[in-house]
A and B are shown apart, each in its own frame.
Chain A
């Protein structure tokens, strides 16, 4: 990044490219403080456009998105906070405008779902691994009494079976 900044020509080229890529994002807007500017960009980055539904307000070229950017800029200039702006939009357009939905009783599955799935997957993995481990280590060692009986039978049955006692 530092080398880029040191070369103004390259930087300008990069900026020009960004401008072409996201024309809506570079509407000139003046804010009195850098905090307001940051808040504005944060808000339009995380609020959703209702017309082009898979874009945020910053990216969308829809006229409504521009109107909403104007409205948000106005509210930010008036010194309204982040929550206030979000509440303003949610009151009109519903939770749909939020890319980050609130945690409520009807949304807990949305938030917890991936972790529940992860936990279920891990549990299944552990179960399978354990079972496989058991299969690899082979059958349990035979009962010593049964073994002795088997040896006696083998040894007593055929005297010519040399090394019967030496079975492993």
Chain B
């Protein structure tokens, strides 16, 4: 019997350790983060009236040529307010190109928001019905897509961008994409 002891006690212990390790690493994950199938694919096409000038149509075509961010935002979204100062700073001081997708928002509310807090966007497309949001797989505002110069989605961040996300994720990726674009142009 003593020869079997390692198997008798070792096996369940090993199984327990494996299960514990599996569950432990699951604890650290945010179940709200759903990986986007759009990463690595061309940005879904859209053409929407611009928020400031409804007569002007803006869309996917206008985002080509430079690595950029597309930020999905709304005036009713409190987390957008949280990330807004950072967007202002990177647009003004670091020259980051940011486009806006204003999601299911009233024009007046959205414009008042931009006028009050500042406008970090080259333009904001007005997605009143949220139909373009569906094409982009938006499920929680704010969301930020990183686009390369050819209009391919390279990364998606769900939730407000904070210093850490900007410094560790988005800024290095944008720098790399800009470098790539520079090589393409040569």
A interface residues, Cβ below 8 angstroms from B:
50-51, 53, 63-64, 67-68, 71, 90-96
Residues of A close to B59: CB separation below 8 A:
none
Residues of B close to A96: CB separation below 8 A:
34-35
Question: Is A91 in contact with B37, judged by CB distance below 8 angstroms?
Answer: yes
Number of interface residues of B (CB under 8 A): 18
Question: Is B136 in contact with A92, judged by CB distance below 8 angstroms?
Answer: yes
Contact of B134 among A53, A92, A94 (CB under 8 A): A92
Assuming A64-B130, A64-B139, what are 19 further A-B pairs, CB within 8 angstroms?
A: A50-B139, A51-B139, A51-B140, A53-B31, A63-B104, A67-B129, A67-B130, A90-B37, A92-B37, A92-B134, A92-B135, A92-B137, A93-B34, A93-B137, A94-B34, A94-B35, A94-B36, A94-B37, A96-B35
Helix, strand, loop or mixed for chain A's interface?
helix
Question: Is B37 in contact with A50, judged by CB distance below 8 angstroms?
Answer: no
Q: From A51, A53, A92, name the one whose CB has the most chain B CB atoms within 10 angstroms.
A: A92
Residues of B close to A94: CB separation below 8 A:
34-37, 137
Subset of 28 A-B contacts with CB under 8 Å:
A50-B139, A51-B139, A53-B32, A63-B130, A67-B129, A67-B130, A67-B131, A67-B133, A68-B134, A71-B131, A71-B134, A90-B37, A91-B37, A92-B38, A92-B136, A92-B137, A93-B34, A93-B36, A93-B37, A93-B137, A93-B139, A94-B34, A94-B35, A94-B36, A94-B37, A94-B137, A95-B37, A96-B34
Bits for B35-71, please: 1 = Cβ < 8 Å to A, else 0: 1111000000000000000000000000000000000
Total A-B residue contacts, Cβ distance less than 8 Å = 40
Cα A94 to Cα B139 in complex, Å, equals: 12
Find the A residue at minimum CB distance from B137.
A92
CB of B164, distance to nearest CB on chain A (Å)? 25
Residues of A close to B135: CB separation below 8 A:
92
CB of B5, distance to nearest CB on chain A (Å)? 15
Q: A51-B140, A93-B139 are in contact. Are A67 and B134 (CB under 8 A)?
A: yes
Find the B residue at minimum CB distance from A67.
B130
Find the B residue at minimum CB distance from A50.
B139
Residues of B close to A91: CB separation below 8 A:
37
CB of A73, distance to nearest CB on chain B (Å)? 13
Residues of A close to B133: CB separation below 8 A:
67
Cα A93 to Cα B136 in complex, Å, equals: 8
Cα A90 to Cα B134 in complex, Å, equals: 11
Residues of B close to A51: CB separation below 8 A:
139-140
CB of A143, distance to nearest CB on chain B (Å)? 24
Find the B residue at minimum CB distance from A68.
B134
CB of B18, distance to nearest CB on chain A (Å)? 13
Residues of A close to B104: CB separation below 8 A:
63
Find the B residue at minimum CB distance from A49.
B139
Bits for B130-158, please: 1 = Cβ < 8 Å to A, else 0: 11011111011000000000000000000
Residues of B close to A53: CB separation below 8 A:
31-32
Residues of B close to A68: CB separation below 8 A:
134
